[in-house]
Amino acid sequence: MLFVYILAGLVGLCVGSFLNVVIYRVPQKMSLATPASHCPKCGYKLKWYDNIPILSYCILGGKCRSCKEHISFRYTAVEMLNAVLWLACAMLFWEESIPYACIAALACSVGICIAFIDLEHMLIYDRFQLILLALGAAAIFFDSGTKWHSHLIGMGLGFVSFFLLAWVGKKIWKYDALGGGDVKLAAVLGLLLGWEKLLLAVLIASVLASVVLIIVRHARGDEKNTEYPFGPFLVLGMTVALLFGNQIISWYTGILIG
């Protein structure tokens, strides 16, 4: 298992490097394959030794080898975050179900793309929703901790509840409380997690969003109806529920019963 954990972390690092390409290029409508990785300022084409996750950033001091332009730490943060999440998925699920461990790891990676793109561009692309939809469908067969009908109920619950909230916001409150991407994301997360863990994910997302966005609004002096991305909070809630949802729910129900 030690070998599995090391491999999961290393593969997670490499996948994290690719996620950076996705996060940067998808909103720019660029191909993920071409051109080769390069400095956006001077066009310097990165050599293989410039693309080693984390290590290259440290060796280069966070700067382009050619023009010395500062490289955002976000690239290294994404690599590290993805590696940690893949390692967590291996440690939590590998011995119980290898397919589900892979499903969880891939879902975390897709979630990272959604969170960072939505944070910067306030967009959630359908291609990511479709990947999560496929992973959710696979989870029905390999998630031993959640019954199959819970996944289907979760999908319906996620869509209906978020659709109604978006409709109420537009018709009664006269502003977009939720975007269409958030509604679809809630639906596919319901399929992935099951309705019990979906409720936990939404609770975590809502509480964090309430606290963080109130602070941000006051710090920036934004108007009351200023729109903020909710996707990153949903992804964070999804990640916690995916990794630790069964334990948290069992602990909470134990308190209620006991």
Q: What is the pLDDT of residue 10?
A: 96
Sorting pLDDT into bands at 50, 70 and 90, what band is 196? very high
State the Cα angle at 70 between 235 and 40, rounded to 5°.
80
Q: Find where tokens 């009664």 sit.
A: 172
Q: In the predicted model, is pLDDT for residue 175 greater than 80?
A: no
Q: Find where tokens 């977009």 sit.
A: 176
pLDDT tens digits, residue range 36-54?
888 877 878 888 788 888 8
CB 142 within 8 A of CB 192: no
Q: How far apart are CA 96 and CA 1, in angstroms?
A: 12
Q: Find where tokens 């023009």 sit.
A: 67
CB 48 within 8 A of CB 57: no
Q: How far apart are CA 258 and CA 256, in angstroms?
A: 6
Q: How far apart are CA 239 and CA 246, in angstroms?
A: 12
Angle of helix 231-257 relative to helix 180-193, nearest 10 degrees, comes to 40
Which pair of tokens denotes residue 61? 């001091």
Residue of 224 and 34 predicted with greater confidence: 34
Q: In the predicted model, is pLDDT for residue 8 greater than 80?
A: yes
pLDDT tens digits, residue range 113-152?
999 999 999 999 999 999 999 999 999 999 988 999 999 9
Q: Helix or strand or coil: residue 39?
A: coil
Q: What is the pLDDT of residue 105?
A: 98
